Amino acid sequence: MHKKKLNILITAGGTREYIDPVRFISNASSGRMGYALARAALKAGHRVTLITAPTALKPPAGATVVPVETSAEMFAAVKAAFDRCDGLLMTAAVSDYRPAKTSTHKLKKHNTELVLHLKPTPDILAWAGRHKKHGQRICGFALEDRDIFANAEQKLRRKKLDMVVANPPGAIGAERSTLHIKTRDDNWQTFENFSKTRSAAALLRHFEKLFDTQ
């Protein structure tokens, strides 16, 4: 177990951006990685706040669970909890865009095209990087389908992260996946075809080491 007990903030799942009261834009994130990280952190003796978009998973006992749906709700929840955390693990698949307007009534089907105007959602990870205090550590995830290492390293630097986890699109919703971990001062490390539980344990060990350098 890590010698220092930390307050760890974890986000999980895929956000929903509503078109009307029953339809939304989302993604295939299962939330498994975030929930596995929450369990691993609790097992290591840390205090965990889990901000979770809708999933089919049961939250781990012992975590403070904050349920959200939209990217705006997740952003508000992260803002509310960020000052009290030692570290943020941003595993959630936050929608990059949301409908510019949300209908208050269910849209009826017509024999014409429906055009949706989308606008960008707030960049929660970039906000956290800008507002990080001395001693706080941030880990972000980069889902990349090409130039995986170059794009993830750019994200690490641009958003002022301390650690980045890169994985291919096939990792979404999968029970096993390959992930690549990089901190600012170390080379890439790859974990091939790990279960989410095993990946979470490895990832948490790397995250904990960031606090040994304070």
Active site amino acids: 27
d(CA 75, CA 53): 11
Task: Quickly tell me which residue has 């550590």 as its tokens.
Answer: 137
Q: Which helix (H) or strand (E) holds 183?
A: strand 176-183
d(CA 13, CA 10): 10
Backbone phi, psi, residue 78, to 5°: -65, -45
Which residue in 153, 149, 152, 155 sits closest to 129, CA to CA?
155
Task: Quickly tell me which residue has 């990059």 as its tokens.
Answer: 96
For residues 159 and 126, the answer to whether their CB atoms sit within 8 Å is yes
Secondary structure (DSSP) of 104-171: SSPPPP-SS-----EEEPP-HHHHHHHHPPTT-EEEEEEE-SSSHHHHHHHHHHHTT-SEEEEE-GGG
